[in-house]
């Protein structure tokens, strides 16, 4: 999840400070490199590098840049490792056009080959450069700027927004397809950005663009057109009253809430990435041939691996062994070899326990693959193939969108391994949106009732067992209440003794496991517990439990994925009601780089 900003004025001025400050206001989105391009006297000044904004600005003199138009971009690597050549903005073949994007162009690999065959100069592996060449392609064929952009829009698959300018022009152009894009209108200038924070210190008058729209920016006006037919569209100017902090959080009170609501969009982007990935096919074939298949992770990533093992068995008929990374070293590493495959899972790609397990596997010659959110991290460099999660930066310490994308990646791999059509998964993001809308109100009410409780259980079975573990972890992390996740059928083997009047127990019910869950519900209710059930609408669950939080109907695998969302929201609302900051729980770090 990158950040991009463009600025247009009608005079030559010191744009460097404006661009650097805009970039600094987008750093919360996460990035590995930064760059800027200014347009002056028919020439383009491009400066970029790997590193933090201040360091790159100092190293390359970004604050000294001048011109009448400028673009700056923060890159979060997905296509191409973090490097100076892959940093954005990018130039066209002859250096007379520059552009940068936010998002992912998933047919990047194919396009780069096409552009090279067509005689263009392709300098990087980055999909931002493909956006520039896509426009260049149609300009070369005789199209005007707007039509070239309209045609490029059709060539570029994925979710992205893009800003581009020509050296001999007085305008910038931007277009939106899936990723955010906001226009700002000020006194003697206009600007455009992937997010409000880079605009608000400059102007409060904005236009929010929709997908399939192109905006042309002059210093004194903007014009919005439809990609479909090129017709001019009327767009009202909105005066924003949000504070800078609220804008960074997308209007949500905390980053955790924002990231929970981002899950449908990042799920869409991940499905696009996996469909286009050249690594998925070879990875799946090696998994198919493996003597033993291990899924290795810690914490939330382990819970995703545990659910992944259920998916692989249910969908593909393939046994996979989920294991906590430190235990892998003691229990499995001494016996693995080249015939075995390990899939090592880490949100950050820097989790020390996971890297230790990977090192132990490598010493035995085991084939090692990765699943990580940060391209260029230690895990992505050390594994033979590593699939990106495509979540962008996750600021809140509790993992939400990275967990659901890990789970979705495992489900995708299970479909591929089982020979099923992954197109069946495209409805999941919409189901996630429906789930958030349906459960937030009822969950708020239950959180109010449970806010003072310091002890509870979360129980699941089959595919929902890992979800119960993850829900319990979230409650522990940010409410500081003790919540134990457990297989529902194990509860009677000891923990049942803890039940007393009003004791809260959350059941996560899969659609095929209702009879077992009903048995568990009654087992605790007759002893005075309050049974809260998360599952699809079912008269039996409603009749037997105290509360039923309903999620949309789907198959058992997808239902398990959806059922984590109510638990994320329950944790979030309980944390806030108890007076804690859910984004930064005590004693915890986002990335664990120590043993």
Catalytic residue numbers, as ranges: 2, 590
Whether the bond between 89 and the residue before it is cis, its omega within 30 degrees of 0, is: yes
Burial class of 81 by CB neighbour count within 10 A (0 to 12, 13 to 18, 19+): middle
Phi, psi of 278 (to 5 degrees): -80, -10
Residue whose pair of structure tokens reads 């059941």 in the numeric block: 507
- Alpha-carbon gap, residue 114 to 91, rounded angstroms: 17
Burial per residue of 114-125, b for 16 or more beta-carbon CB atoms within 10 angstroms, e otherwise: bbeeeebebebb
- Alpha-carbon gap, residue 280 to 169, rounded angstroms: 42
Residue whose pair of structure tokens reads 């989920």 in the numeric block: 322
Burial per residue of 578-592, b for 16 or more beta-carbon CB atoms within 10 angstroms, e otherwise: beeebbbbeeeeeeb
Phi, psi of 591 (to 5 degrees): -125, 120
DSSP 289-317: H-SSEEEEE-HHHHHHHHHHHHHHHHHH-
- Tell me the H-state helices in 122-206: 127-140, 145-155
> How many Cα atoms within 13 Å fall on the side-chain side of residue 125?
8
Looking only at the bridges linking them, the beta strands covering 205-208 and 238-239 are antiparallel
Residue whose pair of structure tokens reads 């924070």 in the numeric block: 197
Contact between residue 526 and residue 505 where contact means Cβ atoms under 8 Å apart: no
- Alpha-carbon gap, residue 62 to 22, rounded angstroms: 12
**Non-local CB neighbours of 538 within 8 Å, separated by 6+ positions:** 509, 511, 514, 548
DSSP 541-591: HHHHSSEEEEE----HHHHHHHHHHHHHHHHHHHHHHTT--TTS-TT--SS
CA distances from 363 to 213, 327, 340, 502 (A): 53, 16, 13, 52
**Residue 41: helix, strand or coil by DSSP?**
coil
CB atoms closer than 10 angstroms to residue 567: 27
- Alpha-carbon gap, residue 198 to 183, rounded angstroms: 11
Burial class of 212 by CB neighbour count within 10 A (0 to 12, 13 to 18, 19+): middle
> How many Cα atoms within 13 Å fall on the side-chain side of residue 490?
12
- Alpha-carbon gap, residue 595 to 270, rounded angstroms: 30
Show the tokens assigned to 450.
């449970």
**Non-local CB neighbours of 500 within 8 Å, separated by 6+ positions:** 527, 528, 529
């Amino acid at each position: 999840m990158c950040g991009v900003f463009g600025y247009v004025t009608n005079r030559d001025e010191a744009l460097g400070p404006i661009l650097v400050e805009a970039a600094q206001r987008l750093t919360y989105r996460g990035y590995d490199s930064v760059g800027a391009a200014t347009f002056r006297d028919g020439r383009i000044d491009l400066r970029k590098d790997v590193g933090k904004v201040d360091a790159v600005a100092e190293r390359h003199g970004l604050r000294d840049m001048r011109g009448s138009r400028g673009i700056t971009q923060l890159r979060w690597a997905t296509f191409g490792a973090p490097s100076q050549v892959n940093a954005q903005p990018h130039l066209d073949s002859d250096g007379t056009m520059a552009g940068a994007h936010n998002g992912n162009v998933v047919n990047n690999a194919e396009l780069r080959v096409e552009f090279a065959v067509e005689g263009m100069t392709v300098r990087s592996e980055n999909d931002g450069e493909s956006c520039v060449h896509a426009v260049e392609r149609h300009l070369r064929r005789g199209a005007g700027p707007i039509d070239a952009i309209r045609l490029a829009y059709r060539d570029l698959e994925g979710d992205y927004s893009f800003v581009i300018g020509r050296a001999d022009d007085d305008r910038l152009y931007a277009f939106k397809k899936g990723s955010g894009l906001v226009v700002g209108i000020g006194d003697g200038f206009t600007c455009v950005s992937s997010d409000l924070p880079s605009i608000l210190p400059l102007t409060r008058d904005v236009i929010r663009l929709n997908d399939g729209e192109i905006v042309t920016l002059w210093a004194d006006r903007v014009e919005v057109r439809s990609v479909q037919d090129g017709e001019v569209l009327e767009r009202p100017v909105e005066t924003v009253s949000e504070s800078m902090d609220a804008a960074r959080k997308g209007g949500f009170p905390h980053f955790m809430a924002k990231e929970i609501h981002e899950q449908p969009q990042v799920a869409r982007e991940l499905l696009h990435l996996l469909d286009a990935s050249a690594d998925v096919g070879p990875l799946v074939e090696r998994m198919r041939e493996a003597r033993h298949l291990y899924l290795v992770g810690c914490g939330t990533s382990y819970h995703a691996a545990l659910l992944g093992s259920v998916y692989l068995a249910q969908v593909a008929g393939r046994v996979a062994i989920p294991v906590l990374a430190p235990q892998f070293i003691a229990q499995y590493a001494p016996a693995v070899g080249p015939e075995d495959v390990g899939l090592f899972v880490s949100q950050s790609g820097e989790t020390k326990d996971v890297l230790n397990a990977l090192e132990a596997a490598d010493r035995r010659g085991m084939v090692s693959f990765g699943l990580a959110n940060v391209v260029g991290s230690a895990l992505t460099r050390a594994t033979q193939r590593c699939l990106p999660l495509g979540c962008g930066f996750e600021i809140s310490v509790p993992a939400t969108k990275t967990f659901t994308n890990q789970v979705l990646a495992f489900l995708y791999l299970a479909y591929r391994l089982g020979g099923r059509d992954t197109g069946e998964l495209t409805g999941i993001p919409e189901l996630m949106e429906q789930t958030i809308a349906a459960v937030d109100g009822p969950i708020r009410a239950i959180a109010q009732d449970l806010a003072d409780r310091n002890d509870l259980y979360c129980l699941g079975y089959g595919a929902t067992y890992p979800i119960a573990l993850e829900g319990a972890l979230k409650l522990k992390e940010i409410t500081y209440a003790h919540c134990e996740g457990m297989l529902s059928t194990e509860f009677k083997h000891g923990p049942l003794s803890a039940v007393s009047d009003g004791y809260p127990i959350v059941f996560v019910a899969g659609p095929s496991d209702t009879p077992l869950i009903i048995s568990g519900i009654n087992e605790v209710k007759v002893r005075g517990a309050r049974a809260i059930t998360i599952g699809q609408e079912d008269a039996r669950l409603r009749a037997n439990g105290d509360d039923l939080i309903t999620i949309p109907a789907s198959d058992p695998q997808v239902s398990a994925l959806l059922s984590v969302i109510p638990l994320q929201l329950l944790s979030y609302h309980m944390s806030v009601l108890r007076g804690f900051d859910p984004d930064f729980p005590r004693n915890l770090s986002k990335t664990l780089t120590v043993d």
